[in-house]
Amino acid sequence: MLIGELARRSGVSVRMLRHYDSLGLVSPSGRTPGGYREYAATDLRRLMHVESLRSLGLPLAAVKRALDDDGFSPLGLLDELRDSARRRIAADTDLLGRLDELRSAEPAGWEDAVRVVNLLNAVRSGSGARRQQAVLAHDGGIAAVPGSALAEVLLAEEDANVAGALRWALAQNPAGGVDVLAAGLTAADAGTRRRAVAALAELGGAEAQAALRGALDDGDTEVCERVAVALGSAGDAAAVPTLVRMVIDGRRDVEAAETLARLVHAGPVTADEVVAALCGAAGHGCGADTLAVTDEGSGSGDAPTAVLLRVAQAMAEVGGHASRQALGALALHQDRVVATTAEVILRQIAGGDAT
């Protein structure tokens, strides 16, 4: 068959068939007396093989090698093609995300669209100074950037100053941000989860609080503690067990005690409940005859001096009759440091009540 007929049968253009011939990829088996290309059935089969391999994304040189080299293994080449496909998918996904961001900004015209794109590019800049400047220098224009886009940038931001500026910007335009930050709470990277907690805590609101509540059992201690402080500050009693454990363990114990006090004053838990939780976590309750003291806190359940001192300080923050009663018991404790500290706190409470 001549080249025109081959083109009709295969759907490959005459121009491409000539190109294949010049590369030695699909050459005619013969020529007519007039010098025209004449293709045989075997040439058509080879052409179909070429088109099949091209459909996988193989370059023409690789297609020729695959067809001509009997020892050629496709596995390595297929792996390369898979990697290339993944890169294209990632690039297309990124492009789709940027288009979604731009669409959600609802630009009034192309000038607005260009401004939003420039702002998005600036907040994703490789320079921390430029990222911060982009947020602060465009305090009016930054409102045009969707909250979801700001939240995504914030989750990846490791510069504390830039992160603070981004949290401020997100507070100006939070729409869609909570969902992105909530997804960030499930990220594999603990740093990302911590940034999500900080941003959700600053945003506040019922949706942010609900998202934070689900992270109270995070595998990262710092994430759990940040969540507990954020929830407690928002008046959520679900934070109490973690806050109590922070006091016992001496991890941000002052902040935890202050947060427990805020919870009591806000009303979701009573002072009696908090004091009971503190005493129970310390060992055996806060009776003077039941709490032994060790220097190191052995595994026997005895409370070390440092723990009792932190518990006493927490009770000073919480206040109330239950705290005074427990402090009275600690004032009779066999350890003089514990007893003296409890006495001082009781006098301070009494002085405050008197005024």
What CATH number labels 3-72? 1.10.1660.10
> Quick one: pLDDT at residue 157?
85
> Quick one: pLDDT at residue 91?
64
Residues whose CB is less than 8 angstroms from the CB of residue 221 and which lie 6 or more positions away in sequence, other chains included? 251
In this structure, what DSSP letter does residue 187 have? -
User: What are the residue ranges of helices labelled H in the chain?
Assistant: 3-10, 14-23, 41-55, 60-68, 74-104, 110-123, 128-137, 147-156, 160-172, 177-184, 190-203, 206-213, 221-233, 240-249, 253-266, 271-282, 305-318, 321-330, 336-354
Q: Any idea where the domains of the chain sit in the sequence? A: 3-72, 238-355
What SS3 state is found at 204? coil
pTM of the model: 0.62
Spell out the long-range contacts of 320-323 with Cβ–Cβ below 8 A and sequence spacing 24 or more: 320/264, 320/270, 320/271, 320/272, 320/275, 321/271, 321/272, 322/270, 322/271, 322/272, 322/274, 322/275, 322/276, 323/271, 323/275, 323/349
Contact 213, 185 (CB under 8 A): no
Per-residue pLDDT in tens (0 to 9) along the chain, 355 residues? 899 998 998 889 999 999 999 999 999 999 999 889 999 999 998 898 888 888 887 888 888 888 888 776 667 777 877 887 788 787 667 666 666 666 666 666 666 666 666 666 666 655 556 666 656 555 455 556 778 888 888 898 888 877 888 888 888 878 889 999 999 999 999 999 999 999 999 999 999 999 999 999 999 999 999 999 999 999 999 999 999 999 999 999 999 999 999 999 998 999 999 999 999 998 755 654 444 444 444 333 457 899 999 999 999 999 999 999 999 999 999 999 999 999 999 999 887 665 4
> Quick one: pLDDT at residue 263?
95
